[in-house]
Amino acid sequence: MKLREIYEYVVVRGMEKDPRGTNAVTRDLELTRKKYDNLKEVEKKEFDVESLVNPYSDTRILFGDPETEVKRMLVGIDIEAGEVLLADRLSDKGSKVDLVMSHHPEGKALAALHGVMHLQEDILAQFGVSINVAEGIMASRISEVKRGLLPVNHNRAVDAARILGIPLMSAHTVADNQVTSYLQELMEQEKPDTLGDVLSMLKKIPEYAEAVKLNAGPTIVVGTKERRAGKILVDMTGGTGGSEDAYAKLSQAGVGTLLVMHIGEKHRKEAEKNHVNVIIAGHMASDSLGMNLLLDGLEEKGLEIIACSGLLRHKREE
């Protein structure tokens, strides 16, 4: 496959599993097109035209000719200069790496991470929070994340890839949409009664079962195994953690349990204060599940995948 085809494939798959639904994604792209069309010519030169067809600012080709033929990829959850050097070393040893794919964004995709956080507003609305309230409580958090990224030296891995001539891309929200959709559908189908039941379900999934062996398996951080789960919200997409103010609104909307990749202590305390149970499924395991759901399709198209940097590779059989 060409690099361009791989990129287009993951974007399409990301849109297919977007928790907002295809109509909301189409609306997002249409609004971006209108914004672009209304810009002055000098402003259009600075505009990220890729956003006209890809609604996920944290998923981009970061370096490389889009027409590059790819047969073997090195794929990891986090790709830094060390992993780029690993790809170069593998090529020297006879296993040529044509593309390095990162889950967590680097370069311009990291600098624009805050752009995908608006997705969380629609998810909150789907679970009963008024959209005006959802947009209001997310606004300050999105600004906070944007400011926090300003001083980051985000282009280090991209520079390493450029110097060594190795194509590099990131696939973040497109993969997070996969794991969110997968687990949300599972919870709604199986309707686990207690938090203990949720843990048991997760541990039957290969990525989480492997994480248990690595002491990084699913953990209850608010609640107990005996507590009833109630309505479960899988909160694993939308860039990064949302607003601390969301827990009170979710509690009022009837959400009983949050199933997350990770949670900060301030957020955990807010959830506890508002009597919302929280299960941390595990960061690397959840990211691996999302990536694997993308990688299976690419592997079926003939690509060879070398897993590294925290990726727990598991291929699902049809």
Tell whether 316 is covered by a domain. no
Write out pLDDT tens, residues 152-205: 999 999 999 999 999 999 999 999 999 999 999 999 999 999 999 999 999 999
Tell whether 251 is covered by a domain. yes
Q: Which residues pair with 308 in a beta bridge?
A: 76
Q: What is the pTM of this model?
A: 0.96
State which residues form the domain around 84: 3-172+286-308
Domains identified in the chain, total number: 2
Q: For the residues of 165-223, what is the DSSP string, one character each?
A: T--EEE--HHHHHHHHHHHHHHHHHH--SBHHHHHHHHTTSHHHHHHHHTT---EEEES
Angle at 117 between CA 49 and CA 266, to 5 degrees: 155
**157/186 same-domain check:** no
**193/302 same-domain check:** no
CATH of the domain at 244: 3.40.1390
Tell whether 318 is covered by a domain. no
**Cβ-based neighbours of 195, under 8 Å, separated by 6 or more:** 220, 223, 224, 225, 226, 227, 228, 229, 257, 277, 279
Average pLDDT over residues 122-131: 95
Dihedral (Cα; 261, 168, 18, 187), 10-degree rounding? -30
Question: Which amino acid is residue 54, in one-letter code?
Answer: N
**149/234 same-domain check:** no
Write out pLDDT tens, residues 287-296: 999 999 999 9
Mean pLDDT of the chain: 96
The proportion of the chain whose per-residue pLDDT surpasses 70, expressed as a percent, equals 100
**12/157 same-domain check:** yes
Write out pLDDT tens, residues 32-63: 999 999 999 999 999 999 999 999 999 999 99
The proportion of the chain whose per-residue pLDDT surpasses 90, expressed as a percent, equals 97
pLDDT greater than 90 at residue 105: yes
- The most distant pair of C-alpha atoms in the chain lies apart, rounded to whole Å, by 61
**200/227 same-domain check:** yes
Angle at 110 between CA 73 and CA 202, to 5 degrees: 65
Q: Supply the pLDDT for residue 305.
A: 98
Write out pLDDT tens, residues 135-157: 999 999 999 999 999 999 999 99
**60/197 same-domain check:** no
Q: Which residues pair with 74 in a beta bridge?
A: 100, 306
**64/159 same-domain check:** yes
Helix or strand or coil: residue 224? Answer: coil
Q: Supply the pLDDT for residue 239.
A: 87
Binning pLDDT at 50, 70 and 90, where does residue 318 land?
Answer: low
Closest CA to 26 of 17, 15, 34, 42: 15
Tell whether 204 is covered by a domain. yes
Tell whether 276 is covered by a domain. yes
Q: What is the DSSP letter of 18?
A: -
**103/226 same-domain check:** no
Q: How far apart are the first and last CA of the chain?
A: 22
Helix or strand or coil: residue 13? Answer: helix
Distance CA 295, CA 291 (A): 6
Q: Which residues pair with 117 in a beta bridge?
A: none
Q: Supply the pLDDT for residue 317.
A: 75
Distance CA 316, CA 318 (A): 6
Asked if 101 and 292 touch (Cβ cutoff 8 Å), the reply is: no
Q: Supply the pLDDT for residue 70.
A: 98
Tell whether 112 is covered by a domain. yes
**184/153 same-domain check:** no
**121/88 same-domain check:** yes
**Cβ-based neighbours of 134, under 8 Å, separated by 6 or more:** 120, 121, 122, 124, 125, 246, 249
- β-strand 219-222 against 168-170: which pairing, if any? unpaired
Question: Which amino acid is residue 80, in one-letter code?
Answer: E
Write out pLDDT tens, residues 56-103: 999 999 999 999 999 999 999 999 999 999 999 999 999 999 999 999
Tell whether 314 is covered by a domain. no
